[in-house]
Structure 1
């Protein structure tokens, strides 16, 4: 399952463990390609929390993180940003990157 994040719950929801945040928008073509990849990984992996944030509905968080292009995937581990990927990321590559941060 992919959880929806808002500016209000971002800090609380992403402070523990390994969290992937997908910054996206409804009008973004590459975001529509990225979403099924994230949903598949969310089904397969229990060791990562998968979340997404609509940048049109929530402007403060993407702005504070300097996100200028979408999709941008941010990976946090115990509340600290450990990786950032901009543009479409294929499933195998994303899985490999996530493996670096899970024990």
Structure 2
């Protein structure tokens, strides 16, 4: 399942106004660890149907990146009810990300 990319413009509608929990992957094209996490998140998005998955390029979308104080990539923020509920920074194995999402 492909993870939908969001931007500063549609972040409110795609993430904050979403009724489901949403995991947002803050990433950058130059980030090596981001490239390792991306396929893991693709797999998890197909396995965890109760969570929506989105990704946002931090370089192309500085407004949202600043708003949520993302200082390093990859940063994954889990939003619930339009608010950040938890976050995970850095590249982690699939089992650790799954645990983070299902706790």
TM-score normalised according to structure 2 size? 0.92
Shift of 1:86: 0.8
Residue 96 (1) aligns with residue 67 (2): no
Aligned to 1:12: 13
Runs of at least 5 residues in structure 2 that lack an aligned partner in the other structure: none
Q: Match for 1:42 among 42, 45, 50?
A: 45
Aligned to 1:31: 34
1:76 & 1:24 partners in 2: Cα distance? 16
Shift of 1:64: 1.1
Structure 1 segments, 4+ long, off by >6 Å, are none
Q: Find the residue that maps to 1:51 and give its secondary structure.
A: strand
Task: Kindly tell me the number of residue pairs found equivalent between the two proteins.
Answer: 100
TM-score normalised according to structure 1 size? 0.92
Q: Match for 1:84 among 81, 84, 87?
A: 87
1:13 & 1:56 partners in 2: Cα distance? 19
Shift of 1:89: 2.0
Q: Match for 1:71 among 37, 58, 74?
A: 74
Q: Find the residue that maps to 1:84 and give its secondary structure.
A: strand
Q: Find the residue that maps to 1:43 and give its secondary structure.
A: helix
